[in-house]
Amino acid sequence: MSDWIEKSHAAQDWFESLRTRICTEFEAIEREAGSDAAFEYTAWNREEEGNEDPGGGTRGVMKGKVFEKVGVNVSTVRGNFAPEFAATINGADADNPGFTATGISLVAHMANPHVPAVHMNTRFLITGKAWFGGGADLNPPVPYEEDTEEFHACFRAACSAHNPTYYDRFKKWADDYFYIPHRGVHRGVGGIFYDHLECSDDAAFERNFAFTRDVGETFLDVFPRIVRRRLDSDFTEADKRTQLEWRGRYAEFNLVYDRGTLFGLKTGGNIDAILMSLPPEAVWS
């Protein structure tokens, strides 16, 4: 087990380094737009009765001229799932409820409706098994085919470098997952989503960790480019109304269906960090 904890530390270190580079890039975009907005970081500690080392994390939030609200969270938590929740987690059950989880989670809601909102997360969990999960998806209120194609092309290339089946599998997983049944619509234009990339040995860990790192690097490459392309676009009141309506649907998905939200709530996470994904303003017609 100690060897897997060391691997968890390696994953944590990388998630934290990715957070730093993403936040630096987003702040650079704000500077280019004439804003001095910066991330404000709040550390939090998890509590679990009888657990001397339950972990915690850091919530980073910036509200600026380009990024109306963006949150980038990192956390590393350890403990035991409640028995009924353990039954829903890969590798865990009532007799083996222990877990270690580390990851990064990002949601950006943009000021200009022509700039797409976005979500990205990657994570490493140790239960009765060890596995990686994550992905990224684009959520444009006003879609542009050029942006959608570039976003998918970059993730297709990242996937293909590791496994020729990954992109088709993980794109479909995103399409199926980021769907709002009660609305009959997808949350956005998709991306990739993967889970339970199991690490049965050192080689599998290195392979899946390398893929997960490429997911993060791909996001850092493609999303700032799309933001810079659209941030000066003129928009109308109708465009803004469309954005606020789609934000309402984003909120509905995250509160009703999102597994990450449920995981955070069920494991005693920081409420502000868990609900960081909610938009600063939304409407329901």
Question: What pLDDT is stored for residue 61 in this prediction?
Answer: 98
* Mean pLDDT value of segment 116-130: 95
136-147: pLDDT as tens digits: 999 999 999 999
Q: What angle do CA 257, 259, 263 make, to 5 degrees?
A: 130
Question: pLDDT digits over 26-49, tens only?
Answer: 999 999 999 999 999 999 999 888
CATH number at residue 245: 3.40.1500.10
283 within domain boundaries: no
| pLDDT of res. 228 | 98
Give the pLDDT band of residue 126 (cuts 50, 70, 90). Answer: very high
Return d(Cα 105, Cα 121) in angstroms, integer.
4
Q: Is the pLDDT of residue 249 over 60?
A: yes
Mean pLDDT of 189-208: 96
Q: Is 196 a catalytic residue?
A: no
Rounded mean pLDDT, 50-59:
92
Q: Could you tell me if residue 282 is inside a domain? A: no
The verdict on residue 153 lying in a domain is yes
pTM: 0.94
Does a structural domain hold residue 190?
yes
Q: Look at residue 109 and tell me if it is in a domain.
A: yes
Query: What percent of the chain stands above pLDDT 70?
Result: 99
Q: How many domains does the chain divide into? A: 1
Q: Which range of residues forms the domain containing residue 120?
A: 2-277
Percent of the chain with pLDDT over 90: 84
Of 109, 114, 119, 152, which one is the catalytic site residue?
Answer: 119
| 124/260: higher pLDDT | 124
Q: Residue 2: pLDDT band by 50, 70, 90 thresholds? A: low
- The band of 217, judged by pLDDT with boundaries at 50, 70 and 90, is very high
Looking at the predicted structure, is the pLDDT value of residue 183 above 90? yes
Domain contains 114: yes
In a domain, 242, yes or no: yes
What average pLDDT is seen over the chain? 95
Domain contains 258: yes
